[in-house]
Amino acid sequence: MYALSVMLEIDPARREEFKAAVLRHAANTRTMEKDCLAFEVYESSTDPARFYLHEVYASKAAVTEIHAVSPSMAEYSEKTAAWIRKKVWEEWNSLPGSPVEKNT
């Protein structure tokens, strides 16, 4: 399995719009991409401009060949690009034997 952790800092004036857009993107990804095993969105408890995305996929190819070019990603990116001030992400490979369940 393959995971992404994405830390985002956004324009606080666009917080509610961003929340709606990122939650829509997460829901679309979970619904439309069978190899997306998890997509969780978190907001900072101390900084209203900071968000954390935790995404788990069956493989790296599920990200590069499907997710990255999906209509949902295009819509999300186009809508939120101007609102994102900082983006830091890291890629992760699961350890063999580490269980992940798809929540439906």
Domain that holds residue 17: 2-93
What integer pLDDT is reported at residue 104 of this predicted model? 44
> Model's pTM, two decimal places?
0.87
At what angle are helices 15-32 and 71-80 packed, to 10 degrees? 170
Q: How many domains does the chain have?
A: 1
pLDDT in tens, the chain (104 residues): 899 999 999 999 999 999 999 999 999 999 999 999 999 999 999 999 999 999 999 999 999 999 999 999 999 999 999 999 999 999 999 888 877 555 54
Examine residue 38 and state whether it is found in any structural domain, yes or no. Answer: yes
Could you tell me the CATH number of the domain that includes residue 22? 3.30.70.100
What integer pLDDT is reported at residue 101 of this predicted model? 56
Nearest to 50 by CA among 97, 98, 94, 18: 18
Examine residue 13 and state whether it is found in any structural domain, yes or no. Answer: yes
